[in-house]
Every structure is written in structure tokens, then in C-alpha cells.
């Protein structure tokens, strides 16, 4: 069963509502990566999101793109904040992936106020992005980030430059924070009004590891039972016009995609159902 598609903002691309989070490939072998590709193709996922800082992720998708470039909307990210360094990182990313362009180039975790001002001021990464777009090296420009302040920061960023896409956390426990909920809702409204793609992360985040032995490759402890993942994924997808980036763990990838593929045929859980899950498992917010 293929995952439903949605216009990715005003880019003109119909992306699967569930995007492949390439952080899962950071430490994967090529054989493991190729198995993941088969899963993506099975569910009709046509949008890959990686980053220059995701270990070997860009290298791992290079063989995929050699065979399936036309089937995938490809996004990557730069952590550089100044134009020269950002431009150099973009060219490294293109070389590593074996492609002559990316469909979306994003400023990775643009949250720190000083870095924000550097990146979006003259001589900053924004200059490199605009030039790369004019040259055809990137088709769209976006911003990403974590933390309770990021939705508000993204709103400021959109006042500085008309980005094509944004990415921020979205799950039931984070939305219990009144400040974050207010800012995220306002950001979502802006995105809907301006035709900006809104990507979300951490849909199945459960709690910080807090000293426990890690059993997944994610920096936080995720949900692992299919029924729990179903609730969290369906709750997130019940919000119109958002995209959900998959978890950064290859073992959990099929469970997230299976849940997403069944979304259209179920009645999504309401806040009360998610609240019951949060209370039963004792969720702990990742961001405080």
C-alpha cells in the first residue's frame, strides 16, 4: 500500500507525506542502505532527506540516485553559516551523492541567535544558497531546527527570506508546551498561507535515554511497539498539510512506513487517545 502524496509547498513536486529521514543511514553499511531502499520503494516513498553531517548518509544514497534519480526528491543540509564554507559544503554534498543538483538545500538546525544572524546576513550562507539556486545547483531552499524556540525562530526566518520549506518537531508531548504549541500553530498557518512545505520530526519520540543503554541508533528513546507507533504516526498525520520525516533507525523504518501507509484507512486518534498513551508509558519531553 503506497503512502499518500501531497504538494511539497510551491515546489511543484508531489512528495509522499512520509519522507525518508536519512539520519538512519549515518552508520549503515551499503548493504543495509540498499535494503532500506527496497522498503522505501515498496511504500512509494519518493522524498529523501539527508545532511552533510549525517555520517555516510550522502554516500549511501549515491548508488540509489545512480539508478533512481528521477524517482526521488532529494534534500540535504549544510551546517555552514558563511557563504564560502556553505558553497564548499554544497559541492562536497553533490559530489558525494553523485548528482548535479539537489531539490532542496537546507540550513541545518538554524537555531542559535548568533549563527542565525550570520547565516541570513550579507556574506552568510543565504548568499550561497541564492547563488546556487540561480545556477541550478539547488531548486529550493529551506531551514531546519530543534528545540522549543525553533518554531518562533522559523517565523523570524520567514520574515527575513521566503524559504521554500521548514522543518520542526511535532508530537503530542511537545505540543503540550503552551509556548511551543502557540508558535508552531502560527508557523503552520504562515506555511499554509504562503505555500511553504512544513516538515515535522520526532513523531515517535518517547523520552530521553537518561542513562539507559541505547537499543536504537536514535539520540532519544523512540516508541518501538507497532500499536504505539500507529497512534503517534496517525496523530501527527491527522494534521493537514504536514510531512512526517521517518525515524533515524533502520529497524524501526518499516514500522513507521507501515503505520503511514494505513493512515488513510483509519480513524486518527484524538488528543485524548494520545494523552492516554502518554500517561500509560510515561512520556518525557525531549525539549525543556
Flag whether 139 is in a domain: yes
Work out how many domains the chain is built from and give that number: 1
> Which of 237, 187, 188, 229 lies closest to 205 in space, CA to CA?
229
Cβ-defined contacts of 38-43 (< 8 Å, 24+): 39/253, 39/254, 39/257, 40/257, 41/68, 42/257, 43/1, 43/2, 43/3, 43/16, 43/18, 43/257, 43/258, 43/260, 43/261
Name the average pLDDT for the chain. 97
Flag whether 10 is in a domain: yes
Confidence of residue 12 (pLDDT cuts 50, 70, 90): very high
130 SS3 class:
helix
Give yes or no for residue 195 having a pLDDT over 90: yes
Flag whether 287 is in a domain: no
Grid coordinates representing 112 are 542559535
Which tens digit of pLDDT belongs to each residue from 68-126? 999 999 999 999 999 999 999 999 999 999 999 999 999 999 999 999 999 999 999 99
Flag whether 191 is in a domain: yes
Mean pLDDT of 234-263: 97
198 SS3 class:
strand
Q: What integer pLDDT is reported at residue 244 of this predicted model?
A: 98
Flag whether 145 is in a domain: yes
Can you give the pTM of this predicted structure? 0.97
| Residue range of the domain that includes 257 | 5-281
Mean pLDDT of 13-21: 98
Flag whether 288 is in a domain: no
Q: What integer pLDDT is reported at residue 1 of this predicted model?
A: 81
Flag whether 286 is in a domain: no
Flag whether 167 is in a domain: yes
Give yes or no for residue 20 having a pLDDT over 90: yes
Confidence of residue 144 (pLDDT cuts 50, 70, 90): very high
What CATH number has the domain bearing residue 87?
3.20.20.100
Q: Report in angstroms the alpha-carbon separations of 230 from 106, 190, 274.
A: 29, 28, 11
Mean pLDDT of 171-198: 98
Query: Quick one: what percent of the chain has pLDDT higher than 90?
Result: 99
Q: What integer pLDDT is reported at residue 284 of this predicted model?
A: 97
Higher per-residue confidence, 183 vs 211: 183
Q: What integer pLDDT is reported at residue 28 of this predicted model?
A: 97
Query: Quick one: what percent of the chain has pLDDT higher than 70?
Result: 100
Amino acid at each position: 500500500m503506497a503512502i499518500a502524496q501531497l504538494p511539497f509547498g510551491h515546489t511543484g513536486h508531489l512528495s509522499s507525506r512520509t519522507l525518508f529521514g536519512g539520519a538512519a543511514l549515518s552508520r549503515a553499511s551499503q548493504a543495509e542502505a540498499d535494503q532500506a531502499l527496497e522498503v522505501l520503494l515498496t511504500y512509494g516513498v519518493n522524498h529523501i532527506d539527508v545532511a552533510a553531517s549525517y555520517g555516510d548518509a550522502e554516500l549511501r544514497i549515491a548508488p540509489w540516485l545512480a539508478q533512481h534519480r528521477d524517482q526521488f526528491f532529494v534534500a540535504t543540509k549544510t551546517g555552514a553559516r558563511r557563504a564560502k564554507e556553505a558553497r564548499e559544503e554544497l559541492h562536497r554534498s553533490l559530489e558525494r551523492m553523485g548528482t548535479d543538483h539537489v531539490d532542496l538545500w537546507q540550513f541545518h538546525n538554524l537555531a542559535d541567535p548568533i549563527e542565525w544572524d550570520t547565516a541570513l546576513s550579507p556574506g552568510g550562507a543565504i548568499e550561497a544558497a541564492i547563488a546556487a539556486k540561480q545556477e541550478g545547483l539547488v531548486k529550493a531552499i529551506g531551514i531546519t531546527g530543534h528545540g522549543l524556540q525553533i518554531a518562533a525562530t522559523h517565523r523570524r526566518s520567514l520574515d527575513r527570506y521566503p524559504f521554500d520549506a521548514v522543518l520542526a518537531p511535532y508530537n503530542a508531548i511537545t505540543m503540550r508546551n503552551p509556548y511551543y504549541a502557540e508558535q508552531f500553530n502560527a508557523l503552520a498557518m504562515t506555511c499554509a498561507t504562503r505555500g511553504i512545505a512544513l516538515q515535522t520530526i520526532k513523531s515517535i519520540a518517547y523520552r530521553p535515554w537518561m542513562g539507559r543503554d541505547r537499543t536504537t541508533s536514535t539520540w532519544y528513546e523512540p516508541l518501538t511497539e507497532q500499536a504505539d507507533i500507529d497512534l503517534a504516526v496517525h496523530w501527527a498525520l491527522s494534521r493537514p498539510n504536514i510531512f512526517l520525516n521517518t525515524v533515524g533507525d533502520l529497524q524501526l523504518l518499516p514500522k513507521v512506513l507501515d503505520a503511514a501507509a494505513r493512515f488513510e484507512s483509519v480513524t486518527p486518534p484524538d488528543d485524548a487517545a494520545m494523552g492516554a498513551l502518554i500517561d500509560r508509558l510515561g512520556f518525557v519531553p525531549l525539549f525543556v
